[in-house]
Amino acid sequence: MRTEFVDIHAHFLPADAVAAFGRPQLVKATGRVDNGGTAMAVLGKQVILPAALSDLDGLLADMERRGIAKRYLSIPPFLFLYELGDREADAWAAAYNDSIIELTRARPERLAPVATLPMGSPDAAVAELERVVRLGVRMVQLATNVLGRELGEDCYRPIFEALHRSGAMALLHPHYIQGRYGSNRFHLRNLVGNAFETSYSAAHLAASGVLDEFPGIRLCLSHGGGALPYLRGRLQRGGDVREDVPLADIDQVLRSFYYDSAVFSSESLDFLAAVVGADRIFYGTDFPFDMSDPLGPDERFAKFGPAVRVKLPRDLPGQPLGPFTTIPAPSEIAAGTKHGEEER
Ligand SMILES: [Zn+2]
């Protein structure tokens, strides 16, 4: 049986989401740009979207080309819009979620929705999570901070409790980059700032006890966890020698998260697998942005060393994500070993 690869990290904006929101003074399309992209006014700022962000045929063709069986579609981060006031934020999350649920419902074998939550109000976020889970959603996407507030702060505990209870996975996606790394000269806000932001957010979640309180919670870190796996030694040393660092076993922390494979380097992916375990890594592209993975999953994971076994999720009815499908090590293929069997 051929391994069915799932893309856990891909963005899509259904064409009708903005219209369904119905607040053109806050978000509206303002026209086409030369390369076919769409210009939008978002909270008074001009944003240029790649045409592929709302092109369903193009997205499906890209999946075909790369050999991706199924894609989880999430909101592009600049549309989290946690800045909106409570009622507007609720309306925006509901408009996006209803649109992406509707779009993916027509192709459940190829596409799955990733919901966004109005994180500015934890109560509203829990209510929206519970609503979309009732509609069949198995995954949400959260920004790595809420307008500068860390997800590890006590006020967000009800959201993690609800995630834990529902079994839904949350993709933590860097956004709202603060301070020094907020400057985008040379695109470094994305290249460096995003990676640091995810690392900081994940370390804060671990140190603040969220992972201990909700063991088994499914939190997936974008871009291979940013710099987090490489910071393993520093974090462990801090936990060993400092009383104000409640990190006793950093390897256990690192293995509590899931990770996407969007690091774009086979050496980095090998290192990630060595530190966190290959079974914690999902294929993720960051489609359709220019910084998305140029390689399909077969090629991306083919470069793994022969000893590495990679498990990727398959989506089955009634289960949030999984069971996992094992990709064979090249040596097993050569030896004719049966592979691709589901692991329970
Ligand atoms: Zn992304």
Task: Annotate 48-85 with DSSP letters as a single string.
Answer: EE-GGGG-HHHHHHHHHHHT-SEEEEE--GGG--TTS-
- Give the pLDDT of residue 34: 79
Task: Kindly state the average pLDDT of the residues 281-288.
Answer: 92
CA of 339 to the centre of ligand 1 (A): 31
280 alpha-carbon distance from chain centroid = 13
- Kindly indicate the confidence band of residue 1, based on its pLDDT and cuts at 50, 70 and 90: very low
- Kindly indicate the confidence band of residue 330, based on its pLDDT and cuts at 50, 70 and 90: very low
CA of 286 to the centre of ligand 1 (A): 4
Q: Is the Cβ–Cβ distance between 239 and 200 less than 8 Å?
A: no
CA of 191 to the centre of ligand 1 (A): 12
pTM above 0.85, yes or no: yes
Residue linked to tokens 């030694």: 233
Dmax over Cα atoms in the chain, in whole Å? 63
pLDDT tens readout for residues 303-326: 665 444 444 554 434 444 444 444
CA of 176 to the centre of ligand 1 (A): 13
User: In the Cβ-directed half-sphere of 68, how many Cα atoms lie within 13 Å?
Assistant: 29
How far apart are the two ends of the chain, measured CA to CA in Å?
Answer: 16
Q: Is the Cβ–Cβ distance between 236 and 245 less than 8 Å?
A: no
Query: Tokens standing for 95?
Result: 């408009």
- 340 pLDDT exceeds 90? no
CA distance 288 to 264: 15
CA of 175 to the centre of ligand 1 (A): 10
User: Mapping DSSP to helix (H, G, I), strand (E, B) and coil, where does residue 324 land?
Assistant: strand
List the shell of residues around ion ligand 1, using CB closer than 5 Å.
286
CA of 332 to the centre of ligand 1 (A): 33
- 338 pLDDT exceeds 50? no
CA of 222 to the centre of ligand 1 (A): 7
CA of 11 to the centre of ligand 1 (A): 6
User: Mapping DSSP to helix (H, G, I), strand (E, B) and coil, where does residue 2 land?
Assistant: coil
- Give the pLDDT of residue 300: 84
Query: Tokens standing for 315?
Result: 């989506």
Q: Is the Cβ–Cβ distance between 99 and 14 less than 8 Å?
A: yes
Query: Tokens standing for 177?
Result: 């980059």
Distances (CA, A) of 1 to 119, 223, 312, 328: 41, 29, 14, 11
- 249 pLDDT exceeds 70? yes
CA of 76 to the centre of ligand 1 (A): 7
Task: Kindly state the average pLDDT of the residues 197-209.
Answer: 98
- 217 pLDDT exceeds 60? yes
CA of 264 to the centre of ligand 1 (A): 13
CA of 77 to the centre of ligand 1 (A): 7
- 103 pLDDT exceeds 90? yes
CA of 141 to the centre of ligand 1 (A): 10
Task: Kindly state the average pLDDT of the residues 223-241.
Answer: 97
Task: Kindly state the average pLDDT of the residues 130-148.
Answer: 94
Residue 255: what are its φ and ψ, rounded to 5°?
-80, -5
CA of 238 to the centre of ligand 1 (A): 30
- Give the pLDDT of residue 32: 84
User: Mapping DSSP to helix (H, G, I), strand (E, B) and coil, where does residue 200 land?
Assistant: helix
